[in-house]
Structure 1
Amino acid sequence: ELQPTTLSQQLTDVAELYESHPDVISRQATINIGTIGHVAHGKSSLTRALTQVDTVKFSNEKVNNITIKLGYANAKIFQCTNQQCSSNKETNYYTGKSDSKDDSPCPHCNQPGQLMRHISIIDCPGHDDYMTTMLSGVALMDATMLLVAADQSCPQPQTAEHLQAISIDGSQREIIVAQNKIDLVNHVNAKNNYNQIKKFLSETLYNRELPIVPISAVRNINIDCIINEIMKIPIPKRCLDKPPKFISIRSFDANKSGQGVDELVGGIIGGTLTEGILKIGDIIEIRPGIIETKDGKHKAFPLTTKIISLRAEDNFLRYALPGGLIAIGTLLDPALTKQDRMVGQMIGYPGTLPPIVTKITIKFHILFNKDTEFNRMLTQDLSKIMKTETEILITVSGCNNIAKILSDTNNIKGSGDLVEIEVSKPICIPEGASVAISSKNLSSQSSNWRLIGYGKVVQ
């Protein structure tokens, strides 16, 4: 049963639904906002301040106090309509948990508020070791919040690399810059750091004007200003009348050890819709599905199943629109979905999904930032880094895949060269899809994958 604290989601015609429909935002997020930036600059702390959810959940994350896997947290944004409210500023926005009532009271005057938005935060790891995890989250982001610590010089290595990463698919995402940890520096140092941020952004984003908000995430300073900037971000227009396309980014078995046979449930797949609408009862196809390998050759077997439940955090849904992390309950054998075995799958109506391939041709572009030693090395040694038979990592639709270069790249320039690559296992990918490319062959001091370029699938 759907919770009585939120609207009932009586299914209407697709033509009547839209991203900010009260029935929709009552239960699910309709915009994904990623947190990016260098390690320990406060991405998880800001997520916690906005959503009241701790995204650092795994034991190895807690031990090291860093984000390792992508974290997700939803929040509702309310506006106090009481003009006499003691805290009534320009907008008077505040947030609540995803399952809070749609008229949750203002924390200052205790009067009912008005639900304005439902957002989802994607908390990305900032450590260099987990750059590939961050790249897998880029495909899900509609907008970003760049965290820069005021007590360190700007830019730090992953500050620059993350800013490059969110541009690889050609999207000019809305960016909010949060100058965090202002409680740790004096006024002069905060101002100097602010000027460093301005200079870095002007050189990296070609003088694009971005809001820079000084905050302290752990002390809740100026979080209301961040909410105000979030409210200025336009909700993306989605293609709701198209067949649904769903990207799988996690999967699991929800059954407990010793559970009775009558209580068992099918496998759960988590991810995000990029277009269309999914409903309980829909028959869906999962591609590439099960992959069998024999004598070095792969064969893919797409799966077909039925949606028996939809959920956004603790909110049960009758239908799901693009935006936020959605959990799909299926009739699949849970053994197929446990331990993220369905990550990288594409889900939609049977007969509507892209082809399953092992070879693709991309139009390759090198990342370029003239001020870094990393890019100077790229420019000088690109033909060595991208040579035939070299192993690379491609990230597409939120999934990382090992691949090797097939084409002759002796004269590669990195400015639109056609490069043929073969992935290590079949993938479901359409023409025109954006691909991030990472390599290990850049430094003898590190075996981490480093983002070196991007491309568009042309064949």
Structure 2
Amino acid sequence: MAKKKKKISSEEKLSADDLGIVKKKTITKKKTSKKSSSKKTTTKKKTTKKTTKKKTTKKTKKKTTKKVIKKTDFIQSSCNVGLVGHVDHGKTTLVKALSGTWTEKYSDEINRGITIKLGYAEAAIDQCPNCNLIIAESVANNLRKSKKDQKGMCPNCGTKLNFKRRISFVDAPGHEILMATMLSGASLMDGALLLIAANEECPQPQTREHLAALGIAKIENIIIIQNKIDAVGKERAIEHYNQIKDFVKGTIAENAPIIPTSAIFNSNIDLISEKIEEIIPSPDLDHDSEFLFNIARSFDVNKPGSEIEKINGGVIGGSIITGTISVGEEIEIRPGFRSKEGKYSTIITTVESIYEGRNSLNSAKPGGLIAIGTKLDPSLTRSDQLIGNVAGIPGTLPDVQYSVEIEAHLLKEVLGAEEEIAVTPIIKNELIMIVVGTSLSAGVVEKIGKKNTITLKLKRPICALDGSIVAISRRIKNRFRLIGYGYLIS
């Protein structure tokens, strides 16, 4: 989700540079003309002004045309593809190879070399009308024989590629302490690429945990990427492939294709984009129901020291679940803002802008990941303060819940731990962490009911629909580990 850049018109640029220079020259010539009484100076002065005016009109017209094309020609993404797997197995590098975008943008991520926040990128999927090759646009451009060759051409036969659809990528963190962030990202995914590095034994702890999370989120369209094959020999690659087959047997990914790749060397990346089109179709999207938006990010796009009159409102990012939204419409955000007293207040604001990546939209529908610029004070949205909230048309959102009842289903073993740990039943007064959509909360078990139901008193309220999928985690050795899933009853 790109930052909203300040736009400077051509007239402003000229008044700061070209017009200033012209003015200075004119004054100099005027003084000379007084002494010499030359008519030549007057002629030059008029010519200079006329030329400057012509340049200004031409540049302004060009800027306006570009803006209109940008808004009318862009087609919104229709599918969200997640990248999951153990830390340092190459998820962010693969996103870069498929889309041309490096999703690690924050200083902590760059310094540590790992994904900490959910990363977003978009890619156009194209098809060759001649040889029927299906390939991501960025991948096709990377396969050009020479940088001088025209972009957007088929790398096989040189025919102009036709646009097929646009997809968004959700780059989920792989570190064990960021499992809650990964679970939030899973709620936005329509399909997933499960990355497993060939230079490590399979499965690693978070490989197992992330695959289970995909099962909980009911994400069945999965492609397994056997990455980093450049780091091992042929025999080890075959041995590792067999480890993957044994690992996924009996799971949701048992029949998933396995593609050996080297993301860093762009090896077999073209096969991945082809398989995405085959395995992960765009889902049937609900455009007619009430607008419902899961907030997965929130931030302040203003630079320090910005002038007050030029400050942009706070931005919320995520995915539309149902309905549509347009610039100028009013939205409500729940549970909302937490005061110093610990109370939550619903927020009402207006949509000022809508973006997918760097592309401005007048309205947005389900599918893809978008950023919504609002009239909110940016102090309310900075540093992801509104993660876990939902947005909708005022008066249409579910009630804010401080206590919830969950139909719980526990796993046999704790996921994500190095050793095997059996999952014991949930007990009264136990602290449990839950993730519902993009919302994360912890609660104390107040009641154990019949038919696997538990009642939690939440420390942070949630706003979610009945029947929503809930991921359940328990604190084990100073880490919250995934122990089960459930469905929200009330």
* TM norm. shorter chain > 0.5: yes
1:51 Cα deviation from its structure 2 partner:
0.9
Preserved contact between residue 405 and residue 422 of structure 1 (Cα < 8 Å): yes
Q: Which has the higher contact order (CA 8 A, sep 6+)?
A: 1
Preserved contact between residue 196 and residue 225 of structure 2 (Cα < 8 Å): yes
Cα deviations by residue, 1:424-450 (Å, 9 ceiling, x for unpaired)? 12221221111111111x33xxx1211
For 1:149-160, list aligned pairs within 5 A.
149-160=197-208
1:293 Cα deviation from its structure 2 partner:
6.1
Preserved contact between residue 135 and residue 165 of structure 1 (Cα < 8 Å): yes
Q: Which residue of 2 aligns with 1:448?
A: 479
CA distance in 1, matches of 2:486, 2:467: 9
Match of 1:288 among 335, 357, 360: 335
CA distance in 2, matches of 1:63, 1:44: 15
Task: Give the match's secondary structure for 2:457.
Answer: strand
CA distance in 1, matches of 2:113, 2:199: 18
CA distance in 2, matches of 1:35, 1:453: 22
Change beyond 3 A, Cα 1:4–1:370: closer
For 1:21-40, list aligned pairs within 5 A.
26-40=74-88
CA distance in 2, matches of 1:105, 1:371: 44
Preserved contact between residue 144 and residue 174 of structure 1 (Cα < 8 Å): yes
Tell me how large the CA RMSD over aligned residues is.
Answer: 2.5
Q: Does 1:405 align with 2:451?
A: no
CA distance in 2, matches of 1:284, 1:428: 15
Q: Which residue of 2 aligns with 1:12?
A: none
Q: Does 1:426 align with 2:470?
A: no
Q: Which residue of 2 aligns with 1:259?
A: 306
CA distance in 2, matches of 1:306, 1:34: 30
Q: Which residue of 1 aligns with 2:12?
A: none
Q: Does 1:133 align with 2:181?
A: yes
1:259 Cα deviation from its structure 2 partner:
2.0
Task: Give the match's secondary structure for 1:204.
Answer: coil
Q: Which residue of 2 aligns with 1:78?
A: 126
1:62 Cα deviation from its structure 2 partner:
2.0
1:154 Cα deviation from its structure 2 partner:
1.3
CA distance in 2, matches of 1:199, 1:266: 51
Change beyond 3 A, Cα 1:367–1:293: farther
1:4 Cα deviation from its structure 2 partner:
5.1
CA distance in 2, matches of 1:257, 1:372: 40
For 1:7-406, list aligned pairs within 5 A.
8-9=71-72, 26-81=74-129, 83=130, 91-96=133-138, 105-106=152-153, 108=155, 111-169=159-217, 171-205=218-252, 208-232=254-278, 233-292=280-339, 294=341, 299-368=343-412, 377-379=421-423, 382-383=424-425, 386-406=426-446
- Equivalent residue letter for 1:125: P
Preserved contact between residue 168 and residue 369 of structure 2 (Cα < 8 Å): yes
Task: Give the match's secondary structure for 2:338.
Answer: strand
Change beyond 3 A, Cα 1:285–1:399: same
- Equivalent residue letter for 2:274: N
Task: Give the match's secondary structure for 2:293.
Answer: strand
Q: Mean alpha-carbon deviation: is it higher for 392-401 or for 140-149? A: 392-401
Instruction: Quote the sequence identity (%).
Output: 39
1:215 Cα deviation from its structure 2 partner:
0.8
Change beyond 3 A, Cα 1:370–1:260: closer
1:392 Cα deviation from its structure 2 partner:
1.8
Cα deviations by residue, 1:183-219 (Å, 9 ceiling, x for unpaired)? 22222211111111111111333x8411111111111
CA distance in 1, matches of 2:65, 2:88: 38
Change beyond 3 A, Cα 1:3–1:104: farther
Change beyond 3 A, Cα 1:151–1:330: same
- Equivalent residue letter for 2:435: T
Preserved contact between residue 414 and residue 481 of structure 2 (Cα < 8 Å): no
Cα deviations by residue, 1:96-139 (Å, 9 ceiling, x for unpaired)? 39xxxxx9522636653211111111111111121121111111
- Equivalent residue letter for 1:80: C
Q: Which residue of 1 aligns with 2:23?
A: none
CA distance in 1, matches of 2:418, 2:412: 10
- Equivalent residue letter for 1:262: E
Structure 2 unaligned regions, length at least 5: 1-63, 140-149
Aligned structure 1 segments of 4 or more residues deviating by more than 4 angstroms: 1-8, 369-376
Structure 1 unaligned regions, length at least 5: 10-22, 98-102
Of structures 1 and 2, the larger Rg is shown by 2
1:263 Cα deviation from its structure 2 partner:
1.3
Preserved contact between residue 296 and residue 438 of structure 2 (Cα < 8 Å): yes
- Equivalent residue letter for 2:273: I
Change beyond 3 A, Cα 1:172–1:261: closer
Change beyond 3 A, Cα 1:373–1:242: closer
1:60 Cα deviation from its structure 2 partner:
2.1
Preserved contact between residue 3 and residue 315 of structure 1 (Cα < 8 Å): no
